[in-house]
A = this chain, B = another copy of it.
Amino acid sequence: MRLGVCYYPEHWPEFMWRDDATRMAALGIEHVRIAEFAWSRIEPAPGEYDWGWLDRAIDTLASAGLKIVMCTPTATPPKWLIDRHPEILPVGADGRRRAFGSRRHYDFSSPVWFEASRRICEAVAARYGQHPAIAYWQTDNEYGCHQTVLSYSDAAVQRFRTWLKSRYGTIEALNAAWGTVFWSMEYRSFDEIDAPVATVTEAHPSHRLDYRRFASDEVQRYNRMQVDIIRKYSPGRSVAHNFMQLFTEFDHYKVAADLDIAAWDSYPLGALEEQWYTPEVKARYLRTGHPDFASLNHDLYRGMSKLPFWVMEQQPGPVNWAHWNPAPLPGMVRLWSWEAFAHGAGCVSYFRWRQAPFAQEQMHAGLNTPDNRLDIGGEEAARVAKEIRTVLDAQGSADFNVKTSVALVFDYEAKWLCEIQPQGADFHYPRFAFEYYSALRALGFDVDIISARARLDGYRLIVVPPLPVVPDDFAARLAQSGAHVILGPRSGSKDANLRIPATLPPGSLAPVLPVRVWRVESLRPSVTEPVTFAAFGNTAARNGHARHWRDLLDLGDDGGARNGIEVRARFADRHPAWVQRGTIHYLASLFDDDSTETLFASIASEAGLQPVPLGDAVRVSRRGNLTWVFNYGPDTHTLATTIPDDAFVIGSRAIAPQGVSAYRTDTP
């Protein structure tokens, strides 16, 4: 549990550096990330390197006891490089080459760019790989930011063809897998295949999905190149990348597999504004962010990180990039920091030390204002730094990991597939995954977010938001896990080539879920369908409603009896809305939030878990022998008196708005 900060010595006069370093250390910061946008200063002209300033900056920071997170500067290729090789610039879906003048203006598939990247990475890694102050590396910056994964350049198409050849072997196999006979789209060789763009009506969905997969793999390949260089020149240092919240254009699991640390950049207010939330939700959490958004990302990156995950950039105040940019309430920067640690973070690094008074992000707050006074965020960071000591003391040497009994499967391909073939225009995969996750968090559970390929044993409840393509062994692994499983609609509805399974959905899930989805329908937002949930245990029957989607299930002539299928909810027209077979549950629609939470609570109880409804303002997280409680709401929240007074390590029983309390659970 350490604090860090993002710092840009090149943005400030050199005389300020020493004071900055001293104040960072005094504030309790241990790590400083630098240089990810500094290429034009490192190499001001082709082949002419200027290391002096960077050497001095590193030495200044190191001499204050700070450890450096060194970055490769590839997110911002300089103008002279672009002018020499304009083919580095990516090509948009509109067929137009993008221009220099902001950032991420490169095409992952450009061979010229690949070589230029290799060269600058080697230069930086060779220069600083063995520097004693360099403790960590970051590759590039926020892959995927500004929709930069997909390019439609000739270079991308060339590599796509190779990728396809590698995947399918022969063009006949590809034609068969995609079903190109439809609409006479058959190819005679891989060289005939273009990017799936600019077509008269929608391009072939399998073609589109493969292009998304290819583009994702290009990111992985590019990152791996950088990682390999760093490992060669700077062995023993940890390598990280800072992923960005819900930038789902590439498979973060795959990129993270080559890293030591999966880091992410947490901007709770910007995310609230930019994501799918309704205006009412955006107003409710205006200056706190949604209580489950950062949490979801913490749980996601914790799972894919070999070492404890990081928040590489933590919002310290208002940002500049959302449509509207309110200020966090006082206390929220501290709350967000503790929330990260409670979820297992190794480091929370604030973006940025001082607000820059110029260029695109001049309206993005830092820990210090542009006139170099400590801002609220800075004060709160200092408080967190002090509290960390208390917490570490309280925790002692015991195991300090996050342990969960509940897993939620999150899948990047599912997002791409639902974009390519939504069938209902607002079928937004991350939203539905979030709703499932939020229901679990509102019931007080700690959650692991995992890939569909992850190990499933050890969980008692596994929740699977709509997962059209499931791995071949998924059904078997679900069964072996012994966990109760909740499968969202559309699960198993496609094979890996984006075709309907021969036996209809749920396809390869049939062994554990012997039903047949013979028909589906999507529903416009103004339409809902009544659903009646059967009574169970001591819960009365209740009514709710379904939204967005319906799978119509054929349970067999006997209504599923022979297969042990129980119908626990039905739509008004009597079609099953929720079926159970042993520990496997299948939801044939997406329900209203209350219904989702209630049915999740039911199944969790049946799985032997103890759900604790928390409402929409309070959230709980457990790590090691400590339990944290966060108050996102406008009212004080008071904890039960069963917790001894002396158990509190941070805060107390009464948690004020924007407050945090943490207490030991091993107190006798």
List A residues at the B interface (Cβ < 8 Å): 8, 10-11, 37-41, 44-45, 73, 76-80, 83, 90, 94-105, 145-146, 148, 178-188, 192, 194, 196-207, 273, 279-280, 282-283, 286, 317-318, 320, 323-327, 355-363, 365, 369-371, 373, 375-376, 421, 423-425, 497-504, 516, 518-524, 526-527, 550, 552
3 nearest interchain CB pairs?
A179-B358, A182-B359, A40-B184
Would you list 5 pairs from A and B whose C-beta atoms are within 8 A, ordered by A residue?
Answer: A40-B184, A185-B359, A323-B424, A327-B550, A363-B520
Contact A184 B77 (CB under 8 A): yes
Contact B79 A526 (CB under 8 A): no
**In the complex, what residue of chain B is closest to A369 when comparing beta carbons?**
B518
**In the complex, what residue of chain B is closest to A320 when comparing beta carbons?**
B423
> Roughly how many angstroms separate A43 CA and B270 CA in the complex, as a whole number?
55
Contact B200 A148 (CB under 8 A): yes
Q: Contacts A201-B146, A499-B357 known; A196 to B519 CB distance under 8 Å?
A: no
CB < 8 Å: which of B78, B146, B280, B370 contacts A504?
B370
**Which residues in B have their C-beta under 8 angstroms from that of A425?**
323-324
**Which residues in B have their C-beta under 8 angstroms from that of A102?**
183, 185, 199-204
Contact B324 A371 (CB under 8 A): no
Contact B521 A318 (CB under 8 A): yes
Residue among A101, A180, A502 facing the most chain B CB atoms (10 A cut-off): A101
> Roughly how many angstroms separate A501 CA and B370 CA in the complex, as a whole number?
9
Contact B99 A96 (CB under 8 A): no
Q: Contacts A181-B40, A358-B499 known; A518 to B323 CB distance under 8 Å?
A: no
**Which residues in B have their C-beta under 8 angstroms from that of A206?**
358-359
Contact A44 B363 (CB under 8 A): no
**Which residues in B have their C-beta under 8 angstroms from that of A283?**
524, 526-527
Contact B356 A182 (CB under 8 A): yes
**Which residues in B have their C-beta under 8 angstroms from that of A179?**
11, 356-359, 362
**Which residues in B have their C-beta under 8 angstroms from that of A78?**
184, 186
> Roughly how many angstroms separate A98 CA and B375 CA in the complex, as a whole number?
49
Contact B185 A519 (CB under 8 A): no
**In the complex, what residue of chain B is closest to A278 when comparing beta carbons?**
B526
> Roughly how many angstroms separate A201 CA and B146 CA in the complex, as a whole number?
6
Q: Contacts A79-B187, A80-B188, A279-B524 known; A502 to B44 CB distance under 8 Å?
A: no
Contact A73 B184 (CB under 8 A): yes
Contact B192 A76 (CB under 8 A): no
Q: Contacts A184-B73, A358-B178, A521-B326 known; A199 to B499 CB distance under 8 Å?
A: no
**Which residues in B have their C-beta under 8 angstroms from that of A99?**
194, 197-199
Contact B323 A182 (CB under 8 A): no
**In the complex, what residue of chain B is closest to A527 when comparing beta carbons?**
B283
Contact A96 B95 (CB under 8 A): yes
Contact A502 B101 (CB under 8 A): no
> Roughly how many angstroms separate A375 CA and B318 CA in the complex, as a whole number?
56
CB < 8 Å: which of B83, B180, B504 contacts A192?
B83
Contact A105 B325 (CB under 8 A): no
**Which residues in B have their C-beta under 8 angstroms from that of A497?**
358
Contact B327 A103 (CB under 8 A): no
**Which residues in B have their C-beta under 8 angstroms from that of A423?**
320, 325, 363
Contact B183 A359 (CB under 8 A): yes
**In the complex, what residue of chain B is closest to A12 when comparing beta carbons?**
B181
**In the complex, what residue of chain B is closest to A376 when comparing beta carbons?**
B519
Given contacts A202-B360, A371-B502, 5 further A-B contacts (CB under 8 A): A183-B360, A326-B527, A357-B502, A363-B421, A369-B518
Min CB distance, A360 to chain B, in Å? 6
**Which residues in B have their C-beta under 8 angstroms from that of A184?**
37-41, 73, 76-78
Min CB distance, A154 to chain B, in Å? 14
Q: Contacts A185-B40, A187-B79 known; A98 to B199 CB distance under 8 Å?
A: yes
> Roughly how many angstroms separate A205 CA and B359 CA in the complex, as a whole number?
6
> Roughly how many angstroms separate A21 CA and B516 CA in the complex, as a whole number?
26
Contact B357 A201 (CB under 8 A): no
Min CB distance, A319 to chain B, in Å? 10
> Roughly how many angstroms separate A356 CA and B204 CA in the complex, as a whole number?
13
**Which residues in B have their C-beta under 8 angstroms from that of A421?**
362-363
**Which residues in B have their C-beta under 8 angstroms from that of A79?**
185-188, 192
Min CB distance, A278 to chain B, in Å? 10
Contact B371 A198 (CB under 8 A): no
> Roughly how many angstroms separate A424 CA and B105 CA in the complex, as a whole number?
26
Residue among A184, A286, A519, A522 facing the most chain B CB atoms (10 A cut-off): A184
